[in-house]
Amino acid sequence: MSVIDRLCYQSRLRYVNAEEKFVYAILTLIFCVASRSFAVALIAFAANGILTVGKGGISLSRYCRLLLIPVSFLVVGTAAILVDVSEIPMDAFAFPVGDRYLTGSRATTMEALRVCAAAFSSATCLYFLALNTTMTDILDVLRKLRLPSLFIELMMLIYRFIFLLFETAGAIRISQESRLGDRNYRTKARSFGEMGSALFIRALSRSNSLYDAMESRGYDGKIRVLSQQQPPRKKKILMIAGFELILAVLTIREIWVRTGGHG
Partner 1 sequence: MEKKKKTMADRETKDGQDWVIEAEHVSYAYEGNDEKALDNFSLKIQRGKKVAFMGGNGSGKSTFFLCLNGIRKPDKGRIIIDKRPVVYRKRELLEVRKKVGIVFQEPDNQLFSASVYQEISFGILNLGVDEDTARRKVEQVIEELGISPFRERPVHALSGGQKKQVAIADILAMSPEVMILDEPAAALDSWHTNKVRRIVDDLAKRGITVLVSTHDMDYAYGWADEIVLMHRGQLIGKGTPLEVCSDAEALKKAGLEMPAVLKLYGRMKQRGILSSDTMPPANMEELEDCLANAYERRM
Please give the residue ranges that form the binding site for partner 1 (CB under 8 A): 5-6, 9, 134-136, 156-157, 159-160, 163-164, 206, 209-210, 212-220, 223-228
227, 152 in Cβ contact below 8 A? no
Looking at the Cβ atoms of 178 and 216, the one nearer to partner 1 is 216
Instruction: Map residue 97 onto helix, strand or coil.
Output: strand
Distance in Å, CB of 248 to partner 1, minimum: 34
Tell me which DSSP letter residue 233 carries.
P
Looking at the Cβ atoms of 5 and 244, the one nearer to partner 1 is 5
Q: What share of the chain is helix, strand, coil (3-state, %, to 5)?
A: 75, 5, 20
Residue 166: how many other CB atoms lie within 10 Å: 12
Looking at the Cβ atoms of 224 and 235, the one nearer to partner 1 is 224
CA 105 to chain centre: 32
Distance in Å, CB of 229 to partner 1, minimum: 11
How many DSSP H helices and E strands does the chain contain?
A: 9, 3
For 90-101, letters b (16+ CB in 10 Å) and e give beeebeeeeeeb
Distance in Å, CB of 217 to partner 1, minimum: 4
Distance in Å, CB of 16 to partner 1, minimum: 14
**E strand or H helix at 107, and its extent?**
helix 106-132
Distance in Å, CB of 135 to partner 1, minimum: 6
Looking at the Cβ atoms of 154 and 249, the one nearer to partner 1 is 154
Looking at the Cβ atoms of 161 and 243, the one nearer to partner 1 is 161
